[in-house]
Amino acid sequence: MEIKFSRHAKRRRRLYNIPEEVIIEILERQELVEGEHEIVEDIEGFKYPIKIVVSVKGNRITVITNYPLKKRRKK
């Protein structure tokens, strides 16, 4: 699968110092089907869980945004 980052996602990644490899690693572990998905995952080394919003169309995953989820997480 091809993974592309939107301009917004690239800027958020730089703003919050999230390495691209971390995002790609999280996405490769997911079983994603067509449509939009919200992924929230605790990552070692980050104070807050990382939220990733992606859109899947065909063989392409587009990362719409990614940021630390500072609000309380629903269980």
Q: In what order do the strands lie in the sheet with 50-57?
A: 2-5, 60-68, 50-57, 35-41
pTM equals 0.86
Q: Are strands 60-68 and 2-5 parallel, antiparallel or unpaired?
A: parallel
DSSP 3-state assignment of 29? helix
Interval 17-74: pLDDT, tens: 999 999 999 999 999 999 999 999 999 988 999 999 999 999 999 999 999 988 765 6
CA distance 75 to 72: 9
CA distance 13 to 58: 24
What's the pLDDT band for 1 if we cut at 50, 70, 90? confident
**CATH topology assigned to domain 2-68:** YaeB-like fold (3.30.2310)
pLDDT of residue 70: 85
Residue 6 has pLDDT above 80, yes or no: yes
Residue 75 has pLDDT above 70, yes or no: no
- The domains of the chain are located at 2-68
